[in-house]
Amino acid sequence: MRVELFLKKRVFALFFLFFAQILSANQTNPYILSDYSLIDLRAADKIYEIGSEVKTKLGVDIYVYAKENYDISMDVDPKIKFEKIKEIEDNIIKELKKPFVVLTMSLDQTHVNLLMSDDLKTILNKNEILNGYVVPLLASFDKNSLIAKTSAALLNGYAEIGDRLADAKGIELDSSIGSGGKTAGTIWKVVMYFLVFGGIIVYTYAIMKRRK
């Protein structure tokens, strides 16, 4: 009984720390313009690390804006959908200080995009980044791995943006994930974090059920 009580206290302590970190991240990460519902905490922390270094060394702000739905009806005419998405994205960037890059995502609209100020369009190839680092991780997504895959896709694309901006200035980022930016390495790390916390939840449920 003492061992079980000790373990239960440790699990609840981990939960308290975990949610405290989430609250802290929500309050202090200026590079995530949307809510955190699609972004794992550790992916958000890495985005903050990369974004801060890029801002300090290059003077560029890299942002993420990710939603499950842009509040657009699923059966709306494609032309109207495109116009509504453009309106949303125009509103996202209208107040941003240049130079900036914004990686946007809407899952239900199957839409990803890379918005940037004009001065960066000769440095960043939108299609290469999206098709090589973001879309592949979303192509096989399912609800059971929603957070893991969206987090990996966003972090993958975000890191590549940072690396390309740094390369253009002949700078190497300390926060770069390097070869891990390719699909397998990054998604493995994020999936593992997701499974660890999932395991804690299952374990806590099992203990509480036994106590009852």
Model pLDDT, residue 8: 46
Q: What is the pTM (predicted TM-score) of this model?
A: 0.73
* Least reliable range by pLDDT among 19-33, 39-53, 60-74, 128-142: 19-33
* CATH number, span 2-211: 3.10.310.50
The answer to whether residue 14 scores a pLDDT higher than 70 is no
Q: Which helix (H) or strand (E) holds 113?
A: strand 111-116
pLDDT at 13 over 80: no
How far apart (Å, rounded) are the C-alpha atoms in residues 84 and 78?
A: 10
| One-character DSSP codes across 153-205 | HHHHHHHHHHHHHHHHTT---TT--GGGGSHHHHHHHHHHHHHHHHHHHHHHH
Contacts made by residues 81-88, CB under 8 angstroms, sequence distance 24+: 81/109, 85/109, 85/111, 85/113
Point out which residues pair with 62 in neighbouring strands. 101
Alpha-helix residue ranges (DSSP H) falling in 59-145: 78-93, 126-129, 135-138
Task: Look at residue 102 in the predicted model and tell me its pLDDT.
Answer: 98
Q: What is the DSSP string of 71-86?
A: S--TTS-HHHHHHHHH
For residues 17 and 174, which has the higher predicted lDDT (pLDDT)? 174
Mean pLDDT of 188-199: 52
The Cα–Cα gap between 7 and 69 comes to: 39
Retrieve residue 166's tokens. 């740094």
Q: What's the mean per-residue pLDDT of the chain?
A: 80
Q: Tell me what pLDDT residue 202 has.
A: 52
More confident residue, 177 or 159: 159
Interatomic CA distance for residues 113 and 118, integer angstroms = 15
Q: What is the pLDDT of residue 185?
A: 45
Mean pLDDT of 192-200: 52
**Locus of tokens 């991780």:** 137
- The reported pLDDT for the residue numbered 177 is 86
pLDDT digits (tens, 9 = 90+) for 78-118: 899 999 999 999 999 999 999 999 999 999 899 999 999 99
Q: Quick check: 25 pLDDT over 50? A: no
Q: pLDDT exceeding 70 applies to what percent of the chain?
A: 69
- Whether cis (ω within 30° of 0) applies to the bond prior to 99 is yes
What are the CA-CA distances from residue 95 to residues 82, 113, 140, 165 (Å)? 21, 18, 34, 22
